[in-house]
Amino acid sequence: MLLMLYFSILIILISNFMMFMSIILSKKTFMDREKSSPFECGFDPKSSARIPFSLHFFLITVIFLIFDVEIALIFPIINLFKFTNFFIWTKISFFFICILLMGLYHEWNQNMLNWTN
C-alpha cells in the first residue's frame, strides 16, 4: 500500500514537472497582434470578424438537441414492446410522450419556437 502511494506521488511530481517545463520552454505569445487579427486571404477585413451571436439561434439549437436526444430515447421503447406486458408498455410510453408534449407546450407558451420576436 505504501509502495502504491510512493508511485502515485512520483507520477504526480513528474507530470507537474513536465507541465511546468512545457510552459517555460514554449514559444507561444498570447498577445500577438497578428495572431489575434482576422485573416481574409491576405487583405484587410471589410467588416468586423467578431459579429454578435444570436442568442435566440442558440436557444433553438439547444431545444433541437434536447428533442433529438428524446427521440433517441423513444426508439428503445419500440423494441421493448416484444418483451413487456402491453398495459405496462402503453402506460410507460404514454407517460414519456406526455412529458415530451408538456415540454413542447412550455416552450411554445414561452414563444421560444418563434424565430422572430
Segments making up each domain of the chain, as ranges: 2-36, 55-109
Contact 65, 73 (CB under 8 A): no
Contact 49, 68 (CB under 8 A): no
> Cα–Cα–Cα angle for 111, 113, 116, nearest 5°?
75
Residue range 22-35: mean pLDDT, rounded: 73
For the stretch 64-90, pLDDT in tens is 888 888 888 888 888 887 888 889 888
